[in-house]
Amino acid sequence: MESNNDHTFAACLKCHAINRVLHQYVPQAVCFNCQSPIKFKKLVSESTERNFKDLVQTSDLVLIAYFSTPSCMACKIFNSQFEKASIENLNLVFTKVNIQGEDPFAAFMEIKAYPCLILFKNGFEEKRHYGIMNDLSLKEFIQ
Ligand SMILES: [Zn+2]
């Protein structure tokens, strides 16, 4: 997919700083603040309750947040689709939010089921989807 964007955003899971990462540096990304490695799967970074809000507010790009838990079986199926979408849509920021043991946060975000996808524009929720999607419906959701 064509894109003129060259960067994404990711939270540091150690110090919670929000990093702007050029796509070319994703494989060896380290936090500007604490030098910890920032791990990506394709172009999907991981976020937590601690840094998710900052990530949404900092990103100057449309951000897709994928809320999941390690115990969610449907999420295991959906992971690879989400990761694939991240390299096909370089103009967006993809993050996976692990919400295991974060019940107050899940309640705050009003997440009723997993997987849950929420698309944010300019820091605000634009739309959300519950349940797994096929490639086509994911493509439509992203647009
Ligand atoms: Zn850091």
pLDDT at 143: 87
pLDDT tens sequence across 83-112: 999 999 999 999 999 888 888 999 999 999
Q: How far, in Å, is the centroid of ligand 1 from the Cα of 38?
A: 8
Q: How far, in Å, is the centroid of ligand 1 from the Cα of 29?
A: 11
Q: Which residues contact 99 (CB under 8 A, 6 or more apart)?
A: 49, 67, 68, 69, 105, 106, 111, 114
Q: Is the pLDDT of residue 3 over 70?
A: no
pLDDT tens sequence across 49-88: 999 999 999 999 999 999 999 899 999 999 999 999 999 9
Residue with tokens 């899940």: 106
pLDDT at 2: 53
Q: What is the helix (H) or strand (E) element at residue 21, kind and residue range? A: strand 18-22
Beta-bridge partner residues of 97: 47, 67
pLDDT tens sequence across 108-136: 999 999 999 999 999 999 999 999 999 99
Q: How far, in Å, is the centroid of ligand 1 from the Cα of 37?
A: 8
User: Rounded to two decimals, what is the model's pTM?
Assistant: 0.94
Q: How far, in Å, is the centroid of ligand 1 from the Cα of 47?
A: 13
Domains of the chain (ranges, CATH numbers):
7-142 (3.40.30.10)
pLDDT at 124: 96
Q: How far, in Å, is the centroid of ligand 1 from the Cα of 21?
A: 13
Q: How far, in Å, is the centroid of ligand 1 from the Cα of 26?
A: 15
